[in-house]
Amino acid sequence: MSVSNSFPSGLYGGRLTIDPKALAANWMFLAGKLAGETECAAAIKADAYGLGQEMAAKTLFEAGCRTFFVAVPTEALALRKVLPDAVIYALDGLFPGTAAHFLEHDIRPVLGSLEELQEWTALCKSTGRNHPAAVHVDTGIHRLGLSPAEFSAAMSDKALLGPFEPTLVMSHLACGSTPDHPMNRRQLDLFREVTAPFAHIPRSLANSAGVLMGPDYHFDLARPGISLYGGRAFDTGFNPMRPVVKVEARIMIVREVPPGDTIGYGAKQTAKRPLRNAVVAAGYADGLLRRAGSTDERPGGFAMIEGHRAPILGRISMDMITLDVTDVPENLLRRGAFVEMLGPHVAAADIAAYAETIDYEYLTSLGRRFERVYGPLT
């Protein structure tokens, strides 16, 4: 167990524990789903989905991962400092006039438009070398990527390409979280079709969901993200991943609420019976989703205290949350004790659902005010 903080432990309102062994185990699990010739890379954009880029990068590299995907070029440069020997792709591609930085730090852009491709191939022609980069072809999500027609034309255009040949051709699924959505098949078929003439170039389609959807989606390289961090690749069904993160908040006070009184800002939640509530020292400023609060009309999320469920009472404030602990044994409610707001017994996706969002957003929202601890979650 290691702690990365500068203040005495007892002074923190909340504690964020990250389990590097679980992260490594999740990568091994996903890599194990792939045939031997398919590489398992890792998406570690957005500070490794909020868990910390440096820890995630070192842990995954040690587990055997050699190829990493980030979003923006600044993330790629930060990652290069941590992993001098890894292959690093920037999914957002080439920002104008920045190619020199990509070369200097050995970062590969995922070229997402004809303009980006032209800028990169101009560079290759000027140096007379094939500088590594991926090409993104859009098979239906309509965000980044050359259209299938642009892709086919560009890839056959020797004058355009010069000495450039992509190290990877990739596309991205729009509906992976719903595995039986017909869009998945359509994108798969289109990806196969447009890449067929260039099948000697490594291909990649799968995010976490694509890995779990089976071998048709695997191609030469997979790019899982959310599953590495214990999140849900599919909206429904069993989640086979190990939890990687736990958020605990410290009890400041336990108090009685008489029936008819209200709890929290806006007086939106009324006690329907005599309640005991615990006020804990974390709130939406720590990334705990404000929309997961409860009102008389609409239930909210919950915390867990040693196997006892403690529903959120009223609104989530910036720095505190009120929990219904009426049915929790007294001895578990000491002042200063921690309750689990997120972790092995409180899935991020479940709380996110109360807030009408997804665990991706929840994890990437987790704040900087927590004590950060690396070690087992239990």
Q: Which residues are catalytic?
A: 45, 265
How many other C-beta atoms lie within 10 A of the C-beta of residue 26? 26
How many other C-beta atoms lie within 10 A of the C-beta of residue 81? 10
Q: Show the tokens assigned to 182.
A: 């017909």
Rounded to an integer, what distance in angstroms lies between the CA atom of residue 316 and that of residue 306?
22
Q: In this chain, which of 223, 242, 246, 372 binds ligand PLP, going by CB under 6 A?
A: 223
Nearer to ligand PLP, 70 or 292 (CB): 70
* 336-to-110, 223, 343 alpha-carbon distances in Å: 48, 41, 19
Q: In this chain, which of 17, 207, 317, 322 binds ligand PLP, going by CB under 6 A?
A: 207
- As to burial, measured by CB atoms within 10 angstroms (0-12 exposed, 13-18 middle, 19+ buried), residue 62 is exposed
Nearer to ligand PLP, 173 or 263 (CB): 173
- 68 φ, ψ to 5°? -130, 140
Q: In this chain, which of 50, 93, 225, 230 binds ligand PLP, going by CB under 6 A?
A: 225
Contact between 208 and ligand PLP by CB under 6 A: the answer reads yes
Name which of residues 241 to 260 contact ligand PLP (CB under 6 A): none
- Could you give the 3-state DSSP secondary structure of residue 181? coil
Contact between 48 and ligand PLP by CB under 6 A: the answer reads no
Nearer to ligand PLP, 209 or 251 (CB): 209
Rounded to an integer, what distance in angstroms lies between the CA atom of residue 320 and that of residue 322?
7
Cβ pair 152, 194 in contact under 8 A: yes
Q: Which stretch binds ligand PLP (CB under 6 A): 72-80, 155-163, 205-213, 236-244?
A: 205-213
Q: Which stretch binds ligand PLP (CB under 6 A): 29-37, 121-129, 222-230, 238-246?
A: 222-230
Buried b (16+ CB within 10 A) or exposed e, 241-275: bbbbbbbbbbbeebeebeeeeebbeeebbbbeeeb
| # of chain residues touching ligand PLP (CB under 6 A) | 12
Rounded to an integer, what distance in angstroms lies between the CA atom of residue 15 and that of residue 9?
9
Q: In this chain, which of 168, 226, 257, 373 binds ligand PLP, going by CB under 6 A?
A: 226
Name which of residues 147 to 176 contact ligand PLP (CB under 6 A): 172
- Smallest separation, CB 191 to ligand PLP (Å): 13
Contact between 60 and ligand PLP by CB under 6 A: the answer reads no
- Smallest separation, CB 32 to ligand PLP (Å): 16
Contact footprint for ligand PLP (CB under 6 A): 43, 45, 91, 172, 207-209, 223-227
